[in-house]
Amino acid sequence: MNTTRPRVELLPIFEDNYVFLLIDDDTQEAVVIDPGEASKVMTYLNEHGLTLKGVLITHHHKDHIAGVRPLIEKYPAPVFAPMKNKSQIPDGQFWVQEGDEIDLGSMHFSVMELPGHTLGHVAFWNDDLKWLFSGDVLFGLGCGRLFEGTYEQMYNSLQRIKNLPPETLIYCTHEYTEMNLQFCKMLSSLDDSPITGDDEDLEMYENQLLNLRGINMPSVPLKLAIETKVNPFLLAHSLEQFTYLRELRNKQ
């Protein structure tokens, strides 16, 4: 019987990506999410004597899947990937879609389809711990670019995240929060800006963010209760507002 909660280890790769390792210290088992690069994951597994129970993939972009093959060649484990990206993820083994349930040792996930960034994008939700592994849908003070999906799809995906329990922790796979902060400050200066949240809330967010980044700590996980107060893409009250914001952000 488990006596401790699983924990999440963030492994920085490339310029601003994170690979997530979910670790059960009681069983010495781990689940990896979006391994865009394998070497850091393999080093961590080896140094800590962990067994790889599975790999979860949110979408098909190379910086999320390039490490899958070398990883499972050394540490054989099942790979769960979006059904709608079946032709784009060569190392997927089990194809998942909305409502599917995944059990990997002591860790359980529900699959949420959240199109917009890509058409097949999924997120992995752990209801017990209120953790969402959201790939590139939502970022600190921002949201993902629309490479394949429509504005309506992304807006609806963000609404689904917004409606999760307020205590939800969101593990997004890029460290974009400081960059998005500058966009929020620019929004606040516009006469025709849509709702941007309370200036004091944003100032508090900025202070906490700069303190974390000043000691090289990640801004991830995001706290949904806070993002809903300051993230303009979650504050948008309509598809039209969201579209205006996303188009404005695209120009930055």
The residue type found at 218 is P
CA–CA separation, 64 vs 138, rounded Å? 15
Give the tokens for residue 91. Answer: 């190392």
Buried b (16+ CB within 10 A) or exposed e, 158-188: beebbebeeebbbbbbbbbbbebbebbeebe
63 annotated ligand binder? yes
61 in a known ligand binding site: yes
Any known ligand binding at 108? no
117 is in an annotated binding site: yes
Q: Is 48 annotated as a binding residue?
A: no
| 143 phi, psi to nearest 5 deg | -150, 170
Q: How many CB atoms lie within 10 A of CB 237?
A: 9
Find out whether 18 and 175 touch, Cβ atoms under 8 Å: yes
Binding residues: 59, 61, 63-64, 117, 136, 174
Binding residues for Zn(2+): 59, 61, 63-64, 117, 136, 174
